[in-house]
Amino acid sequence: MKARRAKVNKVLLILRTTGSGREILQGALQYARTDPYCSVQMELRPDALTPGKVASFEAAGYDGILTSEIGMSAEVTQAFVRLDVPMVVMGAPDPRLAERTRNIAFVGLDEAGIGALGAQHFRSLGAFNSYGFVASYRGLPWSDLRKQGFADEARGHSGDVRTFDGPDRFTISFTSPEETRRLEAWLRNLPKPAAVMADHDARAAQVIECCRRLGLRVPEQVSVIGVDNDRVICDFTEPTLTSVLPDHEQVGFRAAARLNLLMKRRKTALGKPTKCPPRGIVSRNSTRPLSPSGRLVQRALVFIDQHACEGIRVSDVVNHLHVSRSLADLRFREIENKSILEAILDRRLAEVTRQLLSTDDSLVSISLRCGFANAKHLKHLFKARFGQTMSAFRATHTAH
């Protein structure tokens, strides 16, 4: 009897290939290359989607849809709600999709974690008289989550946390003269020195430009952080822009894996959103430690980030700082609320989780690459931290 040929799934990928879209695309295609029974077609103009075009996807024979956005109009959103093709949205859950409870899942960045990381970076730099978050538009789910994560973390370090929301209509640009004047007035009234995070790099660059016009020195009076590490923006602002580095490639990879499961099982439950943590902070001149202690800790964090997986010890960090171990540990605990050893382990474990989710490599190989000479020690450490074994963690998180 002739062997039955496996069905090739026809997948539609909807996203922009600018900025973070390129990284999401790389992650999705990386997964697709591992699946010989997946055929990917791309729609690279999400703004051109209409309700009629969305409705035609089912008749076109698509078995699954990966999309980084579902369009801003209510009509297009409703067309996606009515569609029964398995779909994974690569972004924060959109409340407008709440009516759809079949064959849908969300895989995105840990948006609240991105905001919290920005506030944590400011904390490592020293004491600020105020913290502020600048959003591009009102009501954007991903921006609101970044704002909330930033505010929750910042309130632990400052009694003065303020937010600035952009226009509530997309027909008004946040760079318009009227909106720029509003932002300048808000920046002028912030108690200085101020720590300001924007929801993405272009908005952060606007904050820096507003400070220049107001005569506010960056970072001495206003320290600024963006999100996305867009090199075209970050390297050419003056001063250069510090930015949170999200893991967009991981979003694309895990979204494609989850869509594969949806197409196989056609789950009816919505399920919990999958959140990919940020990779870290890329520090540039728009942020700078405000105290000797802050500068010391920042140097230690940079060294740990670069070398933690090389098997470094606390003594290596202390030697790099050229201070006594007792002073280094004291300053680190004052600002980071943890020891240098804990910071090294945190960085190694973060890399372990990333490799567990993005590779099929053995646990022993991952242990060695992440600076753990003893794989058994890592297994105990990992279970104590995450409440499950490394194998269970990989199986659980790659199956959703």
Residue extents of the structural domains in the chain: 9-109+248-276, 111-245, 291-398
Protein fold of 111-245: Rossmann fold (3.40.50)
Strand order from edge to edge, sheet including 242-245: 161-164, 130-134, 194-198, 222-227, 242-245, 280-282
Task: Tell me the whole-structure pTM to 2 decimals.
Answer: 0.70
Tens digit of each residue's pLDDT (9 = 90 or more) over 309-351: 999 999 999 999 999 999 999 988 876 678 999 989 988 998 8
Side-chain half-sphere exposure of 276, counting CA atoms within 13 A: 27
pLDDT for the residue numbered 134: 98
- Across the range 40-62, mean pLDDT stands at 86
- The class that CATH gives domain 9-109+248-276 is alpha beta
pLDDT for the residue numbered 4: 47
At 17, the pLDDT band (50, 70, 90 cuts) reads confident
pLDDT at residue 235 tops 50: yes
Rg (the chain; Cα; Å): 23
- Across the range 376-384, mean pLDDT stands at 91
pLDDT for the residue numbered 6: 61
pLDDT for the residue numbered 1: 44
- Across the range 297-301, mean pLDDT stands at 80
pLDDT for the residue numbered 39: 83
Query: DSSP letter string over 340-372?
Result: HHHHHHHHHHHHHHHHHHH----HHHHHHHTT-
Tens digit of each residue's pLDDT (9 = 90 or more) over 242-269: 999 999 999 999 999 999 888 887 665 5
pLDDT for the residue numbered 400: 47
More confident call, 100 vs 235:
235
At 207, the pLDDT band (50, 70, 90 cuts) reads very high
pLDDT at residue 399 tops 90: no
Q: Are strands 242-245 and 280-282 parallel, antiparallel or unpaired?
A: antiparallel
Architecture of the domain made up of 291-398? Orthogonal Bundle (1.10)
pLDDT at residue 18 tops 80: no
Q: How far is CA 226 from CA 19, 202, 243, 328, in A?
A: 14, 8, 4, 29
Query: DSSP letter string over 55-103?
Result: HHHHHTT-SEEEES---SSHHHHHHHHH--S-EEESSSPPGGGTT--SS
Domains 111-245 and 291-398 alike in fold: no
pLDDT for the residue numbered 140: 85
Q: Which residue has the tokens 């099929």?
A: 360
More confident call, 398 vs 114:
114
